[in-house]
Amino acid sequence: MTTRPYLKMIQQSVKSSGIIFEEITPNFVYRAIDGAKSFVMVDAEIGLNSSASTIIAMSKSLTYDVLHKGHVPAVEHTYLAHPDARFNHSNPYELAECSFYKFNEHVVVKQDNGAQGNHVYKVDGVKDLNEKLDALFSLQLNGAIGPYYEAEIEYRIVTFNHQARVFLGKKRVRSWKHNLINGAVAIEVSDQAKRAALAELASETSKAMGLDFCSVDILETNQGLMVIEVNHKVMLDEYCKQNPSEVPALSDLYREVILQRFDKL
């Protein structure tokens, strides 16, 4: 059994169903076993989503491309390939500068496949823009650039089979970022009209992306609700720490997800 509380919650969610977990790599890789059936689980990734949808969700720019094509409102992200990328035929610095002026000189530059707010920078000048790109490229990372929207709260909606199951508000406190791990505070989403709108947008997003189990990050902007990111791996460990009363419901959700994963074997 893992010593990580979030993974322990996931594993214990199906204990009553007789499903056991065999440790492969401590606290990271496990084999879930139900009689003659089994599957390998990596971290909190249960493997219910297709590999293609997972790859797309890992990229901020590809996620935008798919949602935009599907007429789902989303924050634009333009891909900035590393200058030495094999198939790169554009100058990422020129492309970034064009986007900088297109978005009224207030942009966010980030790692295209980043997570937890790492390598994410708010930029208000061309010199700073080039410096942030230099920093990303020095780490052999590809980037993405998009407009900056002033928003006090970001919403995270967890969907399962395209139905919204968890509603989380993330209120920024010490930073302009909304990551709970970086100090944002989890708040309840109680307004029923807001919940309905968020649920509809999250459902449209998961369908467009082809994701059976995911979380959708949504900003409330001056242009309405817009998807900023989609996460193929549902990680709510910080949310559980701040809201222990929600753990039983989340455990029930994971039980449904894991049982569906076995049904597909």
Q: Which CATH number goes with the domain that contains 176?
A: 3.30.470.20
CB contact at 8 A, 217 and 154:
yes
Are 89 and 36 members of one domain? no
pLDDT at 183 over 80: no
Between helix 247-263 and helix 5-12 the angle, nearest 10°, is 60
CB contact at 8 A, 128 and 161:
no
Q: Of 147, 171, 186, which residue sits at a domain end?
A: 147
What number of other Cβ atoms are within 10 A of residue 115's Cβ? 15
pLDDT at 189 over 80: yes
Are 169 and 184 members of one domain? yes
CB contact at 8 A, 251 and 13:
yes
CB contact at 8 A, 166 and 157:
yes
* CA dist., res. 39 & res. 209, Å (int): 23
Position 139 scores a pLDDT of 95
Are 69 and 176 members of one domain? yes
DSSP H stretches of helix in 37-76: 51-57, 60-69
Q: Of 147, 178, 194, which residue sits at a domain end?
A: 147
| Structural domain count, the chain | 3
Q: Of 95, 126, 147, which residue sits at a domain end?
A: 147
How confident is the model over 76-82, as a mean pLDDT? Answer: 97
Are 166 and 55 members of one domain? yes
For residue 33, give its domain range. 5-44+254-263
pLDDT at 166 over 90: yes
Note the pTM of the prediction, 2 decimals.
0.95
Q: pLDDT tens-digit profile of 84-133?
A: 988 777 899 999 999 999 999 999 999 999 887 789 999 999 999 999 99
